[in-house]
Amino acid sequence: MEFMHCNQLLNNRCRRRSFLLSAGFLTGLAMTSQWSPAIAKPKFSGYPFNLGVASGDPLPDGVVLWTRLAPDPLNGGGMPMANIVVRWEVALDENMRKVVQKGKALATPELAHSVHIDVRGLEPERWYWYQFKVGNELSPIGRTRTASAFHRSTKQLNFAFVSCQDWQNGYYTAFQHLAKEEIDLVVHLGDYIYEYGPQPGGPRQHNSAEIFSLADYRNRHALYKTDLNLQAAHAAFPWIVTWDDHEVENNYANLIPEENQSLEAFITRRAYAYQAYYEHMPLRESSLPNKSNMQLYRRFTYGDLAEFNVLDTRQYRTDQPCNDGLKPRCVQAFDANATMTGKEQEQWLFQGLDKSRSRWNVIAQQTMLAEYDFDPRPDIGLFNVDQWDGYVAARNRLLNFLQQRQPSNPVVITGDIHSSWVHDLKTDFNNPASITVGTEFVGTSISSDFPTAFIAPVQAALIDNPHTKFFDGASRGYVRCKLTPKLWQTDYRVVSTITSPTAAISTLASFVVQNEQPGAQRA
C-alpha cells in the first residue's frame, strides 16, 4: 500500500479550512490528524463504489459530487480505519476524455469514507460528467448540470420532485423511469429512508430492527443506496435534498421524539441520524452537522426563471398539538407561537421571497400546506395536525405574506402524504370566494403506502374542500414539472405497480399554472 501525507496530497496547501472540508471533520468527533498517513493505493475486499455516485446543490458555477467507499456496505462499509485518497474528474463528455476539473480528497472513517467535492469554476447551465477513482478502481460515471447564471434570461427549466421511498413496501421502478426523463434537476422532499424494523408483507425487508445507533443509520442508508434504480436516478441528474421525519423517527418534532425516549437519548439519536444523512447525500460543507444540529434550509436560483426555497420543517418545529394524529383541532392548533419552521427560518423565507427577482418562486417543503377537512359532515372537522393544519397561525403568516407582498408566482411543492393532490392556496380556506395567493402540488410516494381504506373517505370530503382541485391515493410515482416564463406544467407520473420491478409508467394527470394567475387548471 502506498502512503501519502496530507501536505503532499493537497499540494502543500493543508490549511485548516481545506483540511476540514476534505477530511470531513465533524464537530463532536475525534479529528483526524493533519499529518496522519493517507492510503493512496488501498486493497479492498470488494468493489468500493457499491453505493454509486451522486451530485447535488447545483450553482451556476459549481456542484457537489458525492460517493462513499463501501466494499461491504451493509456491514459498516468494510473499510479500514484509515484515510483513503480519492481522485475525481469532471469532463465535458460522457467518455471522460475532455476533463475540465480534477483533484484529490480524503475519505475518512469519521464520515464513513464518504466524500463531498464542492467543484467550482464550471460554466452555467451546462451538462458535465464526473467519475471517482481510488487505487485502481473506477466508479460509475455520473452526469450533472449547473444552474443558470444569476438573473440571466432563462427560457425553460424541467425538474421532478420525489419523496417517501419505503424500501419494504415496494420496488423503486419509478426511479428507473425517472432516470430516463429529460429533466435538469431532482428535488427530494424527504423520507429518503425509513427507520422501522422489518414489516412482513412487502416484497423486500429492512436489514435490521428499528435503528438507533450511528452504525444502524449508516447501514440503513447503505441498504437504500444499493438499489440500482435509485443509483441510476442519482447518476443522471443533480439532486436538491431535504428531509422529513423518517430520516430520524416518525413524526418527531425538534427534540421531541414520537416514543417515550429520554431527551438525552433522543438528542444522541438525532445526532447519529443527521450525521448519517450528511454522509450519504450530495451536500456541501455548509450542511455539515454540528452534533445534533444541521443547516439544511437553503436557496437555489435558476436565472430569472425560478428560485427554490428549500425548507426544513422538522428540526425547528414545535410539538404537534392535540396529541398528534387525525382529529378535530384543539385550541393549541391556533397558537400564535406554534411554528413549523422556527422564527429564524420563517424570516429567512420571507426575506428571500421579498427580494426574489424570479418568475416562479418555489417553496419546497414536507407536509401539506393547504387546509383539508377530512370529515365532510357539517361542523365536525377532522384535520391532520402533523401537517400545517396543526400550525394554523404559522400558515396564516405565510399566506398573508404572499397576499401582502405578492412575490411572483409562488408555488409550493410537497411530499409526505403518499398521495397526489392539487390545491389553490387561499387566504381563507372557509371562504371559496377568498383570494387565491398561490398553488400547491403534493406528490405521491415512490413506494410508501397510502391506506386503500382511506381513499374513499378522502374523496367523499372533496365537496367540503373546494380549493382542492385533485386527489389520488392509489398511485405511486413522481411529479415532473416544466417551467417557462409564461406557464408552469405539472405532470403526475405513476407506475402501474410497485410489486414488480418491470412496471410501466404513465401520466395520471396534468395541471398548468399561468403566469400571474395563481391556482391550477387541468392541462
The tens place of each residue's pLDDT in the chain, 523 residues long, gives 333 333 333 333 333 333 333 333 333 333 443 446 788 889 999 999 999 999 999 999 999 999 999 999 999 999 999 999 999 999 999 999 999 999 999 999 999 999 999 999 999 999 999 999 999 999 999 999 999 999 899 999 999 999 999 999 999 999 999 999 999 999 999 999 999 999 988 899 999 999 999 999 999 999 999 999 999 999 999 999 999 999 999 999 999 999 889 999 999 999 999 999 999 999 999 999 999 999 999 999 999 999 999 999 999 999 999 999 999 999 999 999 999 999 999 999 999 999 999 999 999 999 999 999 999 787 789 999 999 999 999 999 999 999 999 999 999 999 999 999 999 999 999 999 999 999 999 999 999 999 999 999 999 999 999 999 999 999 999 999 999 999 999 999 999 999 999 999 999 999 999 999 999 999 9
For 133, the enclosing helix (H) or strand (E) is strand 127-134
* pLDDT value for 280: 98
Contacts (Cβ under 8 Å, ≥6 apart) of 331: none
Give the CATH number of domain 147-522.
3.60.21.70
**Per-residue confidence (pLDDT) for residue 25, from 0 to 100:** 38
**CA atoms of 114 and 485, how far apart (whole Å):** 39
Residue 248, C-beta contacts closer than 8 angstroms, at least 6 positions apart: 195, 269, 270, 273, 274, 314
- Give the closest residue to 520 by CA, choosing from 440, 458, 408: 440
Q: What is the CA radius of gyration of the chain?
A: 23
Cell triple for 336? 400564535
Q: Are 124 and 150 in contact (CB under 8 A)?
A: no
CA-to-CA distance for 127 and 286, rounded, in angstroms?
24
Torsion sign (Cα): 422, 481, 449, 259: negative
CA dihedral 308, 177, 206, 366 (to 10 degrees): 20
Question: DSSP label at 109?
Answer: G
C-alpha 418, offset from chain centre: 15
- Give one DSSP letter per residue of 69-100, joined into a string: --SBGGGTB---SSEEEEEEEEESSTTS-SEE
Alpha-carbon separation of residue 70 from 9, 48, 64, 131, 209 (angstroms): 22, 5, 19, 16, 21
> How much is the pLDDT for 376?
79
The Cβ of residue 135 has, within 10 Å, a number of other Cβ atoms equal to 18
Nearest to 245 by CA among 160, 130, 329, 166: 166
Spans of all domains in the chain: 147-522
188: left (phi over 0), alpha (psi -120 to 50) or beta: beta
Rounded-to-integer distance, Cα 364 and Cα 350, Å:
14
- Amino acid 248: pLDDT: 98
Contact 438, 355 (CB under 8 A): no
pTM: predicted TM-score of the whole model, two decimal places: 0.94
What 3-state class would DSSP assign to 272? helix
- Distance between CA atoms of residues 64 and 284, nearest Å: 6
368 φ/ψ sector (left φ>0, alpha ψ -120 to 50, else beta):
beta
Question: Measuring CA to CA, which residue among 371, 424, 418, 422 is closest to residue 394?
Answer: 371
Q: For residue 248, give Cα distances in angstroms to 251, 329, 413, 428.
A: 9, 26, 22, 34
**CA–CA dist 460, 376 (Å, integer):** 7
